[in-house]
Every structure is written in structure tokens, then in C-alpha cells.
Amino acid sequence: MSNIGSYEKRRENFSWDIAKEVLGWKEGEILNIGAMCSDRICAQGKGDKKALIWQGFGGRQKTYTFNDLRVLSNGYAGFLQNLGVDPGDKVCLFMDKIPELYISFLGVLKMGAVAQPLFSAFGDESLEVRLFSADTRVIFTTRKHVKKVRKIQDRLPALEKIVVVEGNPDKLKEGEIFFRVEEFPVEDFNVYESGPETPSVLHYTSGTTGQPKGAQHAHASVWGQALTSSWVLDLKDDDVYWCTADPGWVTGTSYGIIGPWSLGVTQCVLDSGFTSAAWYRFIQDNKVTVWYSAPTAIRSLMRDGEELVKQYDLSSLRHLASVGEPLNAEAVIWSEKVYGLPFLDTFWQTETGSMMITNFPGMKIKPGSMGKPFPGIVAGILDLKTHEPVTEPGTVGLIAFRPGWPSMFREYVKKPEIYRSKFVGAADDAQPAELRVDESLWYVSGDRASFDKDGYYWFVGRDDDVINTGGHLVGPFEIESALVEHEAIAEAAAIGKPDEVNMEVVKVFITLNPGYEPSDDLELNIMNFIRKRLSPLAMPQEIEYSKKLPKTRSGKILRRYLKALEWGEEVGDLSTLEDD
């Protein structure tokens, strides 16, 4: 039986207290995410249930029950206490998607410290920026990545302990600690009695709009993450769930750890790189039922075609969702044709902590739309100049939300002025704790969109990505969506190029599908194709072919980088730029 009900009824009768009912949590019980995702599930009699099915390179597999999570996370928590780590200290998790990453995350929270997961592909400079900013005290890493830490440790005065969680202990340098948690399981641990506002997870923004910022979340985030996992991802007790995101990004923790495990749901993790065939085989072998992925990956699956899909049994799938970038209408239509299920787009951010605008299951899907605000979320579109809410459908403005949802970030670490600037109407001396509960304010997301007469939201672009051509604002997503409908085009990025007459004109960068090569005939074909789909203002004036588009490691196209190169400007922070 599905968890979902009528979208309208959910909104009418909504209270965040429903999350407590969904989780079976009662007032007076401890509110600690680490314990809620392990100890509490065991107390419900599900200790022997599979919690994690992990597969690495070469097909290596490991399986962990919820009781394994409980005992091993206790081991990490006890180890940190013995190191002298205090509640509130930052503990960085810098490793690939190995089981140690997921289990240590729970252990850090259990003893009251703040978990700081960072993407393992970061270079030493990117790592340094984030560890220095957070005053990180301990880092868990692996033999593969410890060399990066060694390069920068002398420039990190707060970093006291480097802990390697796998590999050969004989290869460590003086002062480094080897810890294999399986050798030190802890049956009973006195979990730190955190409250709703106790700091929990510190995530750094991907840097698509400048220097990365540390968004601090609190243990109350579990209410939003659990409820959206139940209602939007429709996770049920017998599901096998796969979130493809790395916990170095907020999706990988909110919906790759906290959401499913707080509901006692079995999840799978694949840590062996991307190929379409490997992904399909993983779904087939593990009988995945719910799949949460990203547009970049979906477009790659589309590029590899329908015939490959037919080689695998994907009949276990019952629900698909997407996150990270807006999902093109073509991808939604394609997935419904090929898998028999549409990918449902979800919109949210590092700062929001959980889904904000979604295609709610059971609701009519409009391919290319972000959907509608999640029940309990008050969303609006603000006028670009006055910052007043717009009322006319189709008007492009800034996506904004009234403060007060439980998964909202509590601050930007050491950046109170930037935090305050995210709230329209905030007083100059307003404190973060006041801002996040003041429902007279608007939190401004930094993205532009419009809504239609039915209340569906339509993404336009990042506020600083929008193209101003002749005084008319054009969103890159509209252009890119039209381009990827062409059979030759795999991916596209649109930017504004300087123009003496029109201020800017549209330039696009495209990658081609296998079997296509750049040519004058192809370019003419593409231009004729999109001329029928776009207004004259949105028509590209120049096409540049590329083998690969620059992206963050979380899969977002870095238009800022392309635009800076085109305009001859500084490219800014590129610490999250995907490696070649």
C-alpha cells in the first residue's frame, strides 16, 4: 500500500508533527539522527533487517543489518570520545562511497559532534579551504586519500587527528591513527542527548556561484527528510532503495543516509563508477524498487539508448525521482517510454536540507515542471526589482520560501552577513536564530522560475545565469531543453555572450551523441530544429561543440565557468569542478 495521499488533502491537514507519527517518535525520546537511523530501528524489532547492500569495484559486496549499523556506529562514537572529541566539534568524513563513510556518519552524530562529509575527489586545495573554514578537528579518511591531507595539515591549526579507517596500518606516518571499527564494536553507547537545534551536519555549497559556503544543519532536519522520503520518494518498509548521490553532497546525506534509514528502509550503494550497463545490472541484481538519481546521469542513460535497457530485467522498479538540476521534459517522456515510469523532478538546495518543490506522486505530471511546493512549504515567486510576491502566472522572478521548515540550514559558518542577505526584509542586526523562524520574511533561493495557472513551478535558471538580450531576460534552461530534444545532442549549456547592440546574445555549448560529428549541415539542421521551438530572442547566435561540458562533481553544469571564459573574467572558485 502506498504512503501517498491526495496532494490537496496533504496540504489542507498538514503539520510537521506528522513526521513524528511517520517515524513513531514520541515526545521525550532522544532526537539524535545517528540513533534514530540505527538504535531506534533496532528497538522496533528490525535489527536483523538489511540496512545497507554495498557493491564496489570488481563486484565486491558487503551487507549490513540495522544492528550492524548500531554496533559499528557505537564503535566510531566511542572511539571519538576516547580521542577527546567534544560535542560540537567538526569531524570530516573524506572517503569514497565505502561502508565506513555511511556508518561513521551515524557515529559522529551519536557522540554529539558535527559530521562534515566532503567529496573524495576534491584535491588538497579544495579540501584545505573547507577544513580551514570549519576549524575541523578530526578527519576520517583512507589510504587512498590521506596523501592529500598530509600536504595541507601544517596549514590547518585546528586539525588535531588524522584517522585512517582502512588499508595497511604500517604505511601510516607519525601521528596518524589507524582505526578499523570491526575490531572495536561497542554494544552499548550513551548517545549524546541532542535537541532539535543541536548542530548535526555541515555541508559546503558546490560553489556554482562563487566561494563555497558552509551550511550548518541541525538534528531537527530529520523531520523534513523523513517525511519527504515517505511522501515524495514513497519509501515503504519492503522497498530496496537506491540514491546514486555521494554523501559529499547534501542529497547523499539527506536522502542517501538520513531519509531511508530513519524509516528503516534497505538501501543499496554502488561505488564502482558509472556505465549504463553497470547501473542496470545493479538494479536488476538487487531488485531495486525506488531509484533517486540526477539529470546528468539520466541524460547519459538516454544517450546509450533503449536497446541496452532491454538486456536487463528492471521490472522491480516502481518509482523514479530526480534531483540536482532541472529535469528536461524529454528525459521525463523518455523514461516513461523506456522504463514504464517517469522520473519525477524534485527541487531543493544544500541550504534547504530537504525537498521544497516536487512532483508529488499521484499528482498530474507536467514534463519539464518542478512540480508544486511540498505540503508545509510556503513558496512564492518574488518580483526581480521590488521583491514583492508576484500573482500573475508566467511572471519570471526569484524562487523564495517562508522560513520555518525543520530542515532549513541554521547559518553559514563564519558568514553571518551572507546568511542575512539571503532573507528579504531582514533587519541589519537580525541574528540567524531569528531569521530562520520569522515567517514574515522570505528566504531567497538564488534561482528564477515562474508558476502557471495550475500552481506548477517552471525553472528558468540561476539568478546570475539568466541572459539579458536587448533588455529581455532569457533562461538558459528553456534553450537547453529545446536543444537536447534534437537526436544528435547529448547535453547543452547556454550562456550570454557580449554584444554591442543587444548587450548579450545567446551562445550554446553542446556535446554530441555517438555517431554524430560537427558539420555545417548538422549546425543548419540544429538551428532549423530549435527555431520552431524557441522565441527569436532565445535563438542561439553561436554554437560551439565540446567533448565534455564543465560540471561540478555533483553533476551541475558550470555555466559561470563558461561565461567567465567568454567574457574574459576571473573564473572564481573551481574547487568543485569535475576532473577531466
Q: What is the CATH number of the domain that holds 255?
A: 3.40.50.12780
Last residue of a domain, one of 425, 449, 473: 449
Q: Which is higher by pLDDT, 462 or 180? A: 180
Give yes or no for a contact between 217 and 242, defined as CB atoms under 8 angstroms apart. Answer: no
Same domain, 442 and 478: no
Q: What is the mean pLDDT of residues 192-200?
A: 95
Q: How far apart are CA 562 and CA 575, in angstroms?
A: 15
DSSP characters over 144-192? TTHHHHHHHGGG-TT--EEEE-SS-GGGPPTT-EE--GGGS--S-----
AA letter at 17: D
Same domain, 373 and 504: no
The pLDDT of residue 295 is above 90: no
Give yes or no for a contact between 334 and 302, defined as CB atoms under 8 angstroms apart. Answer: yes
Q: Which of 207, 227, 232 is nearest to 550 (CA)?
A: 207
Last residue of a domain, one of 388, 417, 449: 449
Same domain, 470 and 422: no
Same domain, 432 and 509: no
Q: How far apart are CA 553 and CA 557, in angstroms?
A: 9
> CATH number of the domain that 473 lies in?
3.30.300.30
Same domain, 348 and 491: no
Same domain, 512 and 542: yes
Work out whether strand 423-424 and strand 240-243 pair parallel, antiparallel, or are unpaired: unpaired
* Residue 457 in domain: no
* Residue 580 in domain: no
* Residue 80 in domain: yes
Q: How far apart are CA 336 and CA 129, in angstroms?
A: 42
**pLDDT by residue (tens digit) across 431-478?**
989 999 999 999 999 899 999 999 999 998 777 677 777 555 576 877
Same domain, 387 and 478: no
The pTM of the full predicted model, rounded to 2 decimals, is: 0.84
DSSP code for 538: G
Residue span of the structural domain in which 168 resides: 7-449
Work out whether strand 467-469 and strand 472-474 pair parallel, antiparallel, or are unpaired: antiparallel
Q: How far apart are CA 316 and CA 321, in angstroms?
A: 15
Same domain, 293 and 414: yes
Work out whether strand 50-56 and strand 61-65 pair parallel, antiparallel, or are unpaired: antiparallel
Same domain, 233 and 341: yes
Residue-level pLDDT at 470: 57
**pLDDT by residue (tens digit) across 333-384?**
999 999 999 999 999 999 999 999 999 988 999 999 999 999 999 999 999 9
Residue-level pLDDT at 209: 47
Average pLDDT over the chain, rounded to an integer: 90
Sign of CA dihedral 359, 363, 368, 374: negative
* Residue 555 in domain: yes
Last residue of a domain, one of 449, 475, 491: 449
Q: What's the distance, CA 468 to chain centroid?
A: 29
Q: How many domains does the chain have?
A: 2
- Residue 54 three-state SS: strand
Band (pLDDT 50/70/90 cuts) for residue 580 is very low
AA letter at 428: D
* Residue 1 in domain: no
Four-point Cα dihedral 227, 230, 236, 242, nearest 10: -110
Band (pLDDT 50/70/90 cuts) for residue 247 is very high
Same domain, 439 and 470: no
User: Crossing angle of helices 99-110/66-83, nearest 10°?
Assistant: 60
Q: How far apart are CA 181 and CA 365, in angstroms?
A: 46
Residue-level pLDDT at 125: 81
**pLDDT by residue (tens digit) across 72-93?**
999 999 999 999 999 999 999 9
Residue-level pLDDT at 208: 46
Residue-level pLDDT at 575: 55
Same domain, 504 and 431: no
CB neighbour list of residue 421: distance below 8 Å, 6 or more residues apart: none
**pLDDT by residue (tens digit) across 499-520?**
766 667 889 999 999 999 999 8
Cell reading at 181: 571499527
Give yes or no for a contact between 489 and 558, defined as CB atoms under 8 angstroms apart. Answer: no
Give yes or no for a contact between 397 and 390, defined as CB atoms under 8 angstroms apart. Answer: yes
Residue-level pLDDT at 444: 96
* Residue 266 in domain: yes
The pLDDT of residue 2 is above 60: no
- Alpha carbons within 13 angstroms on the beta-carbon side of residue 336 total 9
Band (pLDDT 50/70/90 cuts) for residue 480 is confident
DSSP code for 488: T
* Residue 535 in domain: yes
Q: How many CB atoms lie within 10 A of CB 193?
A: 12
CA angle 101, 102, 106 (to 5 degrees): 110
* Residue 258 in domain: yes
Q: What are phi and psi of 229, to 5 degrees?
A: -65, -35
Same domain, 397 and 537: no
- Residue 419 three-state SS: helix
Give yes or no for a contact between 234 and 285, defined as CB atoms under 8 angstroms apart. Answer: no
**How big is the chain by its Cα radius of gyration, in Å?**
23
CA distances from 530 to 39, 366, 472, 486, 533 (A): 55, 21, 19, 8, 5
AA letter at 457: Y
CA distances from 577 to 456, 552, 572 (A): 32, 4, 11
Q: How far apart are CA 105 and CA 51, in angstroms?
A: 14
CA angle 358, 260, 219 (to 5 degrees): 85
Burial of 517 (0-12, 13-18, 19+ CB in 10 A): exposed
